[in-house]
Chain A
Amino acid sequence: MDETNDSSARVVALREAHDREERWIPWRRLEVSGLYAHRVRPVPPRPIPIPTPQPLPVRPTEEELGWLDEDEARDVAAALEGEAGLPIPGRPIPGRPIPIPWFSREEIRLDVDGRYPQRTISGTSYRFRRPPIHWVASLRPIRRNLWVGGVWYRDPNDSAFPYTRVIVRAQPSLYVHQRQVTVLFAGGGASSRQVTYRFRSRFFHPVELEFDHVEDADPVLEIETCAHPNRPSSLPCETLSVSDVFERAGFRATVGSDNAIPAQDAGPNTTWSDAEMHDAMQTYWSRFADRPQWALWTLFARLHDLGTGLGGVMFDDIGPNHRQGTAVFTGSFISQAPGSDPSPAAWVARMRFWTACHEMGHAFNLAHSWQKHLGSPWIPLSSEAEARSFMNYPYRVQGGESAFFADFDFRFSDQELLFVRHAPYRFVQQGNADWFDEHGFEQAGLAPSSDYRLEIGVDRDASRGRAAFEFLEPVVLQLRLRNLSDRSAVLDASTLLRQERLTVIVKRAGAPARQWRPHARYCLAPRSRTLDPGASMLESLFVSVSPEGWLLAEPGTYDVQVALELDGQQVVSNRLALRVEPPRDAQRFEQERIAQDYFTEEVGRVLAFDGTRCAPLADANATLRDVADRLADSRAAVHAQVALAMPETKPHRVLRIDDRETAEFVLEDGEPAQVDALEKVFAERRDLAETLGHVDLSYYTDRVSHALVARGEVERATRCAQQVRQTLQDRAAPEELVAEVDRSLAALTPEAAAE
């Protein structure tokens, strides 16, 4: 027998021994399942050893096994042979290390014993201003309290969490403060990472259940499991409450007060509509809030408007925060025991109890057992039409309701338990919405102090605390990074141009926050720049539009905030308040007509790239010409003319594909008319600096001046640059920008024209 087979046989033997131990002497084992957490203080990242990307599967490395004792290491090595796990997200670049990810807070859910163990570990790692990373791994026991597993789910599936496998060791203890779990993350081309988590709870999540009932309804919150004779012979006889059911599903369930609701709240027809129940929820539920929370409300009422055919409903799919309210109708068919039933009262109590748990299951985002393949499940699921689960209809299985209850253990299926315990909890938590909604700025540990300050603003006055932008006017932020320390700092001169290090959040009042993303990422060679104490560097940022769509378009009030990752810390800006005005009355029709073509992905892209000559984007250019011509007085017209003129300021390389699909790059001269039009805008518009911002105005001036010089028009170029210089000076723009225009002016010479 070779070494591998020998190891495998040993692992099998160990596993069998482990299983025997679990089966026969459970009292000797202290349970270890539950929620564990790890919190770190913000520190600069450690030096990163450069790993060697290897094809999968790989043998476990010394780094992965070194923390285990000799026997453990041997068993883990044997078990990990051939363990591939989820493929590495992205593609490691040879010679480029995947950095060890840095998280501010982490938690894991270890699910290996207790009620209905799923042999799974999942984790959530919180990052600053980015959605948390969520991962799930299946575990195989190796020894007592030691498991290995492959990561099979990762959300988001990007390189921020590159690991493909985990080695998990639990330390049980009678004393809560001594319980801990150590996880070694490995694979995926990254250096392995070992984290120890402290025990928090034997439950995976908390949930607060509140039950209210209408005066004419008969709530059932607990039953005797053996009250009805049709049941599994192995079913333990006990008093089982709704909160017990959810505790066994992994939730620390607390039960809120029970109010009696007047029957007249249902209106004159005495039955309940979804809207009436939603109103009642807002009135009577002590925890009602338009935000995600681990809490739900259950109403026991007599009948829904749909009549006796509706036993219960998760009615809360109104408004932005769904799945917070459910109802059970105790006057419906669930209270009509079959005529031949030997114990009708127990039948009714069981159906009311079952229905309550079923509807509450919907509030945890569980689908009906036969619908699991529909919609957008978190992982590919198959329907469980015959499942003996709270989420299946008893009368829908083969043999009907009596066959169902003969084999029903008052539980959710394993697939459902895996979901509620281990899916990213935005999918499960009641009322949850998109990540980053409302609370996005609060979830990460910020650096307690920083040597830098990031300021964002716009070069215009604010009215009533908010800078106003015209309808259609692009929003260009001015970023300023200031050195607050008392010593000089050497930074990359392109720090503010590295947009992948910026997190920009745009939030319109009353709508979810959205993250701005750049249209392009630039690979910039590092250039050092010394920032003296008190000095700053400047940059502009066009934030109206992301590749996913327009962020600042509709009239309304907005907040914008930016964070910059610098030296391993997040430097967070002030929060900037903006207002987008509605269309002007005089031009309302024209503005609204053009807006239909303007707020498109194509126009957004053209503006983000300062114009294009790309033929497929001709429609976008036509829209911008429309803006420049028909809305000439608007500030949007200035930006439109910039986008139309910039590609014409110098010869432009264009890809031409002929009828035979032969492609070649052609260098085309700029179109002077567009540059002339922009020069005219520069000369005439008094609001130029306000709408373009000082940084971009200085940059565009340089481009226009050089285009004029290239045509031999030195005098016009100089006049244009001088006007802008005067504007910047009058507006007390930063000296470095005025100096930049001065440098442009110095280069506007007949010699340069001749070149």
Chain B
Amino acid sequence: MTPMAKLTIDLREGFDDDEVVVRVADREVFRGRVSTRMQLGLAHRVETDVVGPATVTVALGGATRSLEVDPEATPFVGADAGGGDLALRPQGEPFRYM
């Protein structure tokens, strides 16, 4: 049986009182307005549990981006907004902020 793993999705740069929806494996895990806290470069962190690879979907206004993620290999996903678009980036290490 595939063990449950933690997936962390960071809404990072470029959010300015934007309505964002985050879905993981077709399940809505976050909906709300977020703004990037400039001194960190982080707007909001979403943590959820998943079993096996899952599709992460982030929707911002008219832009929607999806990414297939294996939480065993890349349990961290960063979402950056800019110019009305979104970029999703998976990585194995936590994103770093200062």
Residue ranges of A at the interface with B (Cβ–Cβ < 8 Å): 306-314, 317, 333-334, 355, 358-359, 362, 367-368, 371, 374-375, 393, 395
Contacts and interface: CB of A to CB of B under 8 A. Distances in A.
Contacts of B96: 309-311, 333, 393, 395
Contacts of B40: 310, 313
Contacts of A375: 38
B39 to A, nearest CB: 5
21 contacts: A306-B42, A306-B97, A307-B94, A308-B94, A309-B94, A310-B96, A311-B98, A312-B98, A313-B39, A313-B97, A313-B98, A317-B39, A333-B96, A334-B98, A359-B98, A362-B39, A367-B38, A368-B38, A371-B38, A393-B96, A393-B98
Would you list the 9 A-B pairs with minimal beta carbon distance, nearest first?
Answer: A309-B94, A311-B98, A314-B39, A362-B39, A312-B98, A310-B97, A333-B96, A309-B96, A358-B98
Interface in B46-93: none
A359 B40 CA distance: 10
Contacts of A362: 39
A645 B41 CA distance: 57
A362 B40 CA distance: 10
Contacts of B45: 306
Contacts of A393: 96, 98
B37 interface: yes
A473 to B, nearest CB: 36
B38 A355 contact: no
Contacts of B95: 309
A306 B37 CA distance: 14
Report the interface size class on chain B: 10 to 19
B94 A317 contact: no
Contacts, number: 43
Contacts of B38: 367-368, 371, 374-375
Contacts of B39: 313-314, 317, 362, 368
Given A309-B94, A371-B41, 18 more contacts: A306-B42, A307-B94, A308-B94, A309-B97, A310-B40, A311-B98, A312-B98, A313-B39, A313-B98, A333-B94, A333-B96, A334-B98, A355-B98, A368-B38, A368-B41, A371-B13, A375-B38, A395-B96
B4 to A, nearest CB: 19
Nearest to A395: B96
A307 B41 CA distance: 15
Interface string B1-43: 0000000000001000000000000000000000001111110
A313 B41 CA distance: 11
B70 to A, nearest CB: 20
A28 B42 CA distance: 50
Interface of B: 13, 37-42, 45, 94-98
A309 B96 CA distance: 4
A253 B3 CA distance: 54
Contacts of A368: 38-39, 41
Nearest to A393: B98
Nearest to B10: A309
B94 to A, nearest CB: 4
A112 B19 CA distance: 48
A355 to B, nearest CB: 6
Nearest to B13: A371
Contacts of A374: 38
B94 A311 contact: no
A374 B42 CA distance: 15
A306 B42 CA distance: 11
A501 B40 CA distance: 46
Interface core residue of A310, A312, A362, A395 (most chain B CB under 10 Å): A310
Contacts of B94: 307-309, 333
A116 B98 CA distance: 25
Contacts of B37: 317
Q: Counting chain A CB atoms within 10 Å of each CB, which of B39, B42, B98 scores highest?
A: B98
Nearest to B97: A310
A109 B57 CA distance: 53
A311 B96 CA distance: 7
Contacts of A367: 38
A368 B37 CA distance: 12
Contacts of A314: 39
B38 to A, nearest CB: 6
A186 B45 CA distance: 55
A63 B38 CA distance: 49
Q: Which one of A306, A355, A362, A393 has the highest number of Cβ atoms from chain B below 10 Å of its Cβ?
A: A306
A371 B41 CA distance: 9
Contacts of A308: 94
Nearest to A328: B98
A20 B39 CA distance: 42
Nearest to A312: B98
A588 to B, nearest CB: 32
Contacts of A311: 96-98
Nearest to A316: B39
| Of listed B38, B39, B41, residue having the most chain A CB within 10 A | B39
A393 B98 CA distance: 8
Contacts of A310: 40, 96-98
A683 B38 CA distance: 61
A306 B98 CA distance: 11
Nearest to A315: B39
A310 B95 CA distance: 8
A581 B13 CA distance: 45
Contacts of B41: 368, 371
A371 B98 CA distance: 13
A526 B51 CA distance: 85
Contacts of B97: 306, 309-311, 313
Contacts of A359: 98
Contacts of B13: 371
A81 to B, nearest CB: 44
Nearest to A306: B45
Contacts of B42: 306
A314 B38 CA distance: 10
A557 B40 CA distance: 38
Nearest to B40: A313
Nearest to B76: A309
A307 B45 CA distance: 12
B45 to A, nearest CB: 7
A328 to B, nearest CB: 9
A358 B45 CA distance: 23
A306 B12 CA distance: 14
